[in-house]
């Protein structure tokens, strides 16, 4: 009986850990003058703010007209960042992976309920991705006015990761972060 209870508890823990990432408190993102280098590699002090919400790391910087965002996760599959909602529905999402041939793949999509579809958007200025040592990193340079409404004091962000090089495979982990704008 003890083995069965232990197995059930361990199974529930692994399911919960693989399914969702808990939301953390708000980050505070000031407007700065420095711009990160969008190259698929995040330097130690390259971004203004960063947080780790296991198994994902997030970084953000902002200038008056640009938002820089990066996500890194322990996966050889896809990673994604979404803006404008703390749920997939309505979020402007950037989903990418490095395929088996080393080519980067990125789609800009809009969340619709529990799904998403391709979207024409001028928000993306530049992106870069790298996969090394089982970690996939996506860096984005985005037009601030495409993400932040005039007078807004917060920017909701969603993030996710998957285990396959595919735009349609389910996520292994997901979460949201509310960013306070200064």
Task: Grade residue 58 by pLDDT with cuts at 50, 70 and 90.
Answer: very high
Domains along the chain with CATH numbers: 2-181 (2.60.40)
The DSSP call for residue 20 is -
Q: What are the start-end ranges of the E strands in 30-164?
A: 49-53, 56-62, 66-73, 79-83, 92-98, 104-112, 115-118, 124-132, 135-143, 154-162
Q: Across residues 36-60, what is the average pLDDT?
A: 95
Lowest mean pLDDT among 13-17, 62-66, 134-138: 13-17
pLDDT in tens, 157-182: 999 999 999 988 888 999 999 999 99
Single pTM value for the model: 0.84
Q: Is pLDDT above 80 for 40?
A: yes
Q: Is pLDDT above 70 for 116?
A: yes
DSSP result, 111-130? EETTEEEE---S-EEEEEEE
Mean predicted lDDT score pLDDT of the chain: 86
The single residue listed with the structure tokens 């001028």 is 122
Separation CA 102–CA 104 (nearest Å) = 7
Separation CA 111–CA 144 (nearest Å) = 19
Task: Grade residue 25 by pLDDT with cuts at 50, 70 and 90.
Answer: low
Residue 95: predicted pLDDT: 96
Cα-Cα-Cα-Cα torsion 140, 48, 45, 50, nearest 10 degrees, comes to -80
Task: Assess contact for 155 and 146: CB atoms under 8 A.
Answer: no
Q: Which helix (H) or strand (E) holds 145?
A: helix 144-147
pLDDT in tens, 76-111: 999 999 999 998 888 999 999 999 999 999 999 998
Q: Which residues contact 74 (CB under 8 A, 6 or more apart)?
A: 55, 134, 135
- Backbone Cα Rg of the chain: 17
């Amino acid at each position: 009986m003890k083995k069965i209870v232990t197995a059930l508890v361990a199974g529930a823990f692994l399911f919960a850990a693989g399914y969702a990432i808990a939301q953390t408190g708000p980050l505070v993102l000031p407007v700065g003058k420095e711009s990160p280098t969008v190259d698929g590699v995040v330097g130690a002090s390259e971004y203004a703010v960063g947080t780790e919400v296991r198994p994902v790391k997030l970084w953000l910087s902002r200038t008056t007209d640009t938002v820089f965002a990066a996500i890194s996760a322990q996966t050889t599959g896809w990673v994604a960042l979404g803006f404008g909602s703390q749920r997939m529905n309505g979020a402007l999402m950037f989903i990418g992976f490095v395929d088996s041939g080393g080519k980067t793949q990125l789609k800009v999509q809009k969340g619709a309920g529990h799904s998403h579809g391709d979207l024409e958007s001028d928000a993306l200025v530049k992106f870069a991705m790298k996969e090394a040592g089982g970690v996939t990193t996506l860096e984005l340079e985005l037009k601030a006015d495409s993400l932040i409404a005039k007078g807004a004091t917060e920017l909701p962000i969603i993030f996710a990761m998957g285990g396959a090089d595919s735009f349609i495979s389910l996520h292994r982990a997901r979460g949201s972060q509310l960013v306070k704008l200064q």
